[in-house]
Structure 1
């Protein structure tokens, strides 16, 4: 028989929180972007590259936040399903 799957819900919540925190920290770095840049003949190229980097960082922030929410949702779903299954199997008795 296969071993039962055990999920540490505190660990799942910690992973979700770390993803959301990292997204917030990365997002906050955008506030420190320089408003003006003079790089001589390379200014246009550097500004374009910088804009591309900031756009990609923005996409990363959005996706990390969404992934953190998905991890948290999955943990909640697992907990709800596991509890309902345990209650059904035990006839509603508290087996802890």
Structure 2
């Protein structure tokens, strides 16, 4: 299972797809055509987590890829809510909970 949260590592989605590795991508850069194309061909379980205030996230593309998606309203690329520390902690809880369920589903 590959889980990576940074900008540059989104480009590694091709490795996960080529090697048929289940993967969770936190704030994937869906605005890069290559990334969206690679995620489209990924056949193993894949989780995408992003926020609607992230300029590098595209809700339409995320929904079209056929993967498990957690989209957080108003969250930015750091999965944070502007001027809302408590809300940002709740976003982190949501992301960790979804990651936990995703990882747990891989053994079945």
Give the TM-score of the pair, scaled to structure 2. Answer: 0.31
Name the structure where strand makes up a greater proportion of residues.
2
Give the TM-score of the pair, scaled to structure 1. Answer: 0.35
Name the structure where helix makes up a greater proportion of residues.
1
Task: Between the two structures, name the one with larger relative contact order (CA 8 Å, sep ≥ 6).
Answer: 1
Q: Choose 1 or 2 for highest CA Rg.
A: 1
